[in-house]
Structures are given as C-alpha cells and as structure tokens.
Amino acid sequence: MAICHHHHPTFLTHHPFQPTATTLSHLHLHIRLPSSFRCNLSVTSPPKLEPEPVYTSVKSFAPATVANLGPGFDFLGCAVDGIGDFVTLKVDPQTPPGEISISDITGTGNSAKKLSKNPNWNCAGIAAISVMKMLNIRSVGLSLELEKGLPLGSGLGSSAASAAAAAVAVNELFGGKLPESELVLAGLESEAKVSGYHADNIAPAIMGGFVLVRSYDPLELISLRFPSDKNLCFVLVNPEFEAPTKKMRAALPTEISMSQHIWNSSQAGALVAAVLQGDLVGLGKALSSDKIVEPKRAPLIPGMEEVKRAALEAGAFGCTISGAGPTAVAIVDDEEKGRAIGEKMVEAFMAGGNLKAQAMVKKLDRVGARLVSSSSR
C-alpha cells in the first residue's frame, strides 16, 4: 500500500502488477489531474478494509476505441460513442467467496464460441479479478455476464471494452471506491495477458475522450480535452476480415530511420495540438500521415489503400487504420457527409479487396466506461 500526495488531498493507490519497489516509488499518473502525484512506499498505512456491496447487481457499458490515430502508435487513442460492450455483474451465493464466475457470453458474431468462460482467460474476468484484489474482496462471490457489442479482432478495442466494463462494474458494485487510475491499471493487466502491454485502448475506454500515454514505466496518462463546441464524427468501416493484434504487430519494423522518427514525432505532436485546438483539418492531416506502422499493415488488409484514397477523395479530413485493423477510420465534421464517405469506403473495400464491409458514423465518447443500471434486490 502506498500513500500518494497531490497538493492538498491525500489519495490511496495500489499497483496490481507487483513490480519492484523502485518502480512503484516512481509511479505517478496524470488522470484528469492538473499535475502528477507521487507514490512513496516509505509511508505505511493500515490494512484496507473490505467494502460491503452497495448493490446486488449492476450493469455497465464501455465504449469502442480507436487506437494509434495514425502516428500515435501505442500512445494515442480515443473513445467512440454508441458502440461497445456491456457487463452485468451480480452478487452470487453459488460462487465461492472472493472469486468470480462468468455465467454467459452473448453478442456480436462468434464471440460466445471464441471467448473462454474461464475468468483467468477472459478479458472481462481478468480485469474483474484485478479490481476485486484492489478492493480486498474476500467474503463475496460474483457472477458476470458479458454482452459483446464489438466484433473480435476488429481494431475497435474489443478486449479493452470488455475489461473496462468489467472493472467499472466491480468497482461500482462496491460503492465506486477506486479512482479511474486504478481501473486503468486493472484493465491494463487484462490487456497485457491478451493482446500486449499497451494502454491506448484501455485508457480511453475507461476515461473517455482522447488520451495520451506519456509513459509506460511509470504509467503516465494525459487526458486531451477536445473542445465541446466542435462536431467530430468518426466514419468506421469494418470489413469481413479478421486482423489479430499479434499478427499485425509481428509485421512492424524492428528498426526505423532517423528521418522516419522525426516525421512521425512531428505528426504526433501536430495531432495532439489539433485535438486541443479542435482543428479538424489539422487532425485529419496528421491522422493520415503515419510513415512507420500504416505502410507495413495496410498491405495486409485487402483494399485498405484504396479505401483510404476513396475516403480522402470523398471529402474526409483524414483516414487511417483503426488500431491493428482491419477497420478503417475517417474523420469528418458532419454525420450526413460521413455516411456518404462511408458508402464510398465500403465500395472501395469490395473493389480493391473483394471484402464486404459495414459503415457507421459515430461521435466522440467523452465519458468512458460507466454504470448504466443497478439493483439493490
């Protein structure tokens, strides 16, 4: 247990990964706070009391996410409104105290067949267990139902949405004791076991909006506030093609040139500036300008290069691969225009890659994972 200091208030925080004391002593997180707060292990605190459940059941939702955003590989991402995963969590006398069981998995595509109901091998289960450990839950057993609204291997943060929804559900069932920073760590533990140690999906899934991962060791996150008076729309076009994250990561170069580094760094900086200024034209330009990751991944997604060209020609401000793909994401400032661009992108997937695809236009999710209903009986 560590006591964390941030100006006036005192925060309690705890790290689920059990790293070295040296690593923990330098842990500080930028989570909607004006400056960092430090954890110092030299101060001891009394054992954490186990909270009582405040509900008998809760239902939570976590949104889809677009990671990388072009030049921001593994350090930039944002949440997308209107699509995501649901988790229903109940106090279950049939589940042993301190444990969690997964009773049902339903939803999009073949999720139920492909996902394990063993909580130790399921994104939602891993995150839920992590939060239970953080809260010191020992005398209550829980059962979890996962409703997948996101297809697997789509590049829309499917695993992160499951983890985020589960983490929030457990926390809310016991009164919302943990801050977002702890929930991100729980979700990151899940991501690390399933798709790799990267927070550009799980952080925005929990926090909402745009998030910059400034550092992984120590984990440091910065929320980027997109102006509320600007209308940002995402055109998401998902082809019938699975692009597993591990396979898409294997395609990446192990070394890059100094000129590539300079270019991508400048584009990532420009993207952050565009987000903060609400500059959609600048955002689109930077989004489309990755010279390191996208050139290696695009050829692995049939028709992707044609889809990007079609989006830009149809009036999109920018277009790139969402996460590891195969979903293509374009940005515009108008829903009707977005639907027209989406149609052109769908046509390009068929013409260039012989793939059927579906298009949808969604807005920025500024809230992140949240409780949608609860019951005390």
Catalytic machinery residues: 191, 245
> How far is residue 327 from each of residues 240, 278, 319, measured CA to CA in Å?
9, 24, 11
What are the two backbone dihedrals, phi and then psi, of residue 371, each rounded to the nearest 5 degrees?
-75, 135
Long-range interactions of 282-286: CB distance < 8 A, separation 24+: 283/232, 283/317, 283/318, 283/331, 284/316, 284/317, 284/318, 284/319, 284/331, 285/317, 285/318, 286/70, 286/71, 286/318
Q: In what order do the strands lie in the sheet with 328-332?
A: 318-321, 328-332, 233-239, 357-363
- How many CB atoms are located within 10 Å of the residue 38 CB? 15
Instruction: Write the CB contacts of 62 (distance below 8 Å, at least 6 apart in sequence).
Output: 84, 85, 87, 160, 161, 162, 163, 164, 165, 168, 205, 206, 368, 369
Q: Distance between CA 311 and CA 308 in Å, rounded?
A: 5
Contact predicate 120/185, CB 8 Å: no
Q: Widest CA span of the chain, in angstroms?
A: 64
Question: What is the DSSP annotation of 130-173?
Answer: HHHHHHT--S--EEEEEEE-S-TTSSS-HHHHHHHHHHHHHHHH
